[in-house]
Amino acid sequence: MIRAISGVLFMLAAAAAMAGRPNFVFILADDLGYGELGCYGQALIRTPRLDRMAAEGLRFAQFYAGATVCAPSRSVLMTGQHHGRTRVRGNANKDQPLSQALRVEDVTVAKVLQRAGYRTALVGKWGLGDVGPAECGLPRRQGFDEFYGYLSQVHAHNHFPDFVWRNEQREPWPNEVVPVGDAGGGYATNAVVYADDRFAEECLAFVERNRDRPFFLFWSLVTPHANNERARVLGDGAHVPDYGPYAEMDWPPQDQGHAAMITRLDAHVGRLLDRLGDLGLSERTLVFFSSDNGPHNESRHNPDRFRPSGPLRGMKRSLTEGGIRVPAIAWWPGVIRPGRLTDHVAYLGDWFATVCELAGVEPPSGLDSVSFAPTLRGDEAAQRRHEWLYWEFHERGFSQAALWEGRWKGIREGGLDGPIQLYDLSNDLGETKDVAAAHPEIVARIAAYLKEARTESEDWPIRVRRAGTATGER
């Protein structure tokens, strides 16, 4: 009886907190695996602030990235359309700039909130438009009032760049950089300013400047992504200012650096949460933390040491769970009951409908987005659920995947007519046993969904990889 009364009082308090228009902060890590936070089972890497964020908020057990690589996952987040319908569906190269750029006609979550009176900012990595032919995708043409960071995802490999962009102007930094290749990559020989440190300061300043008006901050971290170019030249892509608590560990420097990146990221998130509290904004602000895809091994570190996918199989560039299931934590004191774990199945594209509902804005048509606001409130009975989720991949031939009813997972390789592997996630989370032969009716149902889910794209046609075809890293 007392517990029931307490629950009712909490929901009434939450309703009062949501009566005004809340602020929104979306923090997106880059290549952070499902198992790389303590609250998701990580035993070696220290993440006390994110663990505390989960203890004070809501943790998702089954949350998915928009894609298994960077650019399309961000496109899904921005457009609220799944991987088979969003504008950017893969990591493009310099010869195809428009294939990796949002267009003028695209409707982003930032545009919708900006039109509703929110002050909007992007800090960190963009990857959906650049100067030159892809200017249509520049952040300030896609709904952001302010931008500070990297436009190119290859440029973002370098955590100590010699410049970043402030809006459309280059801001020089004192790092001395050796260029590698012709796509904007490189590494610092005189490493002075670490990007995520500077970006954290920018985020704190933005929150303080806008404390008296509704705001949307998209903080797109560049860690723990590797510096791929530095790894190829020097054998170590985990470039950090120091190894922090791992300096004394008997590990290779790549492992020390990878762990230090994540712990440093964790501290920055904690600083933002603290600042919101200091400004009296905690109960007016929904903070959401997640990752753009599964973990990488491009720093030349040893993934076996950290088990970054936890109990899942696969990593970045895989459509098994390890490549697309990611950590997700929601924090909103006074609205989200502390210490909750939800089994609601959601993905990055759901952010669009969620903030529209919470901000009292009519969402645009054509979304593949289900608001998880009822789950945040603890009203599971009112929560709508996805019928299926969809992904595709454009680097190693063409693959498709659909999630069916939170239990069945189908993966198809080799184009629209390839065989389907079927996994029962309720009994085989690690996807070790293909049960397609035992469930032909489920396979047929997933095959039908796979064919209807995708719309054709001139930029991202279906191509079946020939044997021996190489793919690049992004």
For residue 139, give the CATH number of its domain. Answer: 3.40.720.10
> How many CA atoms, within 13 angstroms, populate the side-chain half-sphere of residue 335?
24
CA distance 191 to 185: 15
Same domain flag for 323 and 438: no
Q: How much is the pLDDT for 351? A: 99
CA distance 235 to 422: 38
Gyration radius from the chain CA atoms: 21
User: What does the mean pLDDT of the chain come to?
Assistant: 93
Q: How much is the pLDDT for 97? A: 84
CA distance 355 to 336: 15
Same domain flag for 393 and 283: no
Residue 392, pLDDT above cutoff 50: yes
Same domain flag for 110 and 225: yes
Q: How much is the pLDDT for 117? A: 98
Q: How much is the pLDDT for 183? A: 87
Same domain flag for 275 and 333: yes
Asked if the structure places residue 79 within a domain, the reply is yes
pLDDT digits (tens, 9 = 90+) for 336-381: 999 999 999 999 999 999 999 999 999 999 999 999 999 999 999 9
Same domain flag for 278 and 382: yes
Same domain flag for 10 and 24: yes
Q: How much is the pLDDT for 344? A: 97
Boundary residue ending a domain (350, 368, 386) = 386
Asked if the structure places residue 462 within a domain, the reply is no
Same domain flag for 340 and 393: no
Task: Name the token pair of 97.
Answer: 């700039």
Residue 177, pLDDT above cutoff 80: yes
Asked if the structure places residue 344 within a domain, the reply is yes
Cβ-Cβ contacts under 8 Å for 110 (sequence gap 6 or more): 78, 120, 122, 139, 142, 143, 144, 216, 218
Boundary residue ending a domain (386, 411, 437) = 386
Same domain flag for 344 and 445: no
- As for how many domains the chain has, the answer is 2
Task: Name the token pair of 228.
Answer: 């791929």
pLDDT digits (tens, 9 = 90+) for 405-446: 779 999 998 777 889 999 999 999 999 999 999 999 999 999
> 233 near 41, Cβ under 8 Å?
no
pLDDT tier, 85 (very low <50, low <70, confident <90, very high otherwise): very high
Same domain flag for 283 and 419: no
Q: How much is the pLDDT for 474? A: 47
- Average the pLDDT over each of 4-13, 104-113, 267-276, 414-423 and give the range with the smallest value: 4-13
CA distance 154 to 177: 14
Q: How much is the pLDDT for 396? A: 74
Residue 445 neighbours by CB distance under 10 Å: 17
* Better-scored residue on pLDDT, 212 or 4: 212
Residue 220, pLDDT above cutoff 50: yes
Q: How much is the pLDDT for 94? A: 59
Q: Is the dihedral of CA 316, 318, 324, 326 positive or negative?
A: negative
Asked if the structure places residue 17 within a domain, the reply is yes
Asked if the structure places residue 460 within a domain, the reply is no
Asked if the structure places residue 449 within a domain, the reply is yes
CATH of the domain at 412: 3.30.1120.10
The fraction of the chain above a pLDDT of 90, given in percent, is 86
Average pLDDT over every residue of 46-66? 98
Q: How much is the pLDDT for 387? A: 94
Residue 401, pLDDT above cutoff 60: yes
Same domain flag for 101 and 228: yes
pLDDT tier, 468 (very low <50, low <70, confident <90, very high otherwise): very low
Q: How much is the pLDDT for 400? A: 85
Same domain flag for 448 and 303: no
- Average the pLDDT over each of 168-177, 352-361, 449-458 and give the range with the smallest value: 449-458
Cβ-Cβ contacts under 8 Å for 459 (sequence gap 6 or more): 88, 89, 92, 96, 98, 99
- Residue range(s) defining the domain that contains residue 316: 2-386
Same domain flag for 437 and 323: no
pLDDT digits (tens, 9 = 90+) for 14-31: 444 445 899 999 999 999
The fraction of the chain above a pLDDT of 70, given in percent, is 93
Asked if the structure places residue 75 within a domain, the reply is yes
> 242 near 260, Cβ under 8 Å?
yes
Boundary residue ending a domain (347, 365, 386) = 386
pLDDT tier, 124 (very low <50, low <70, confident <90, very high otherwise): very high
Asked if the structure places residue 464 within a domain, the reply is no
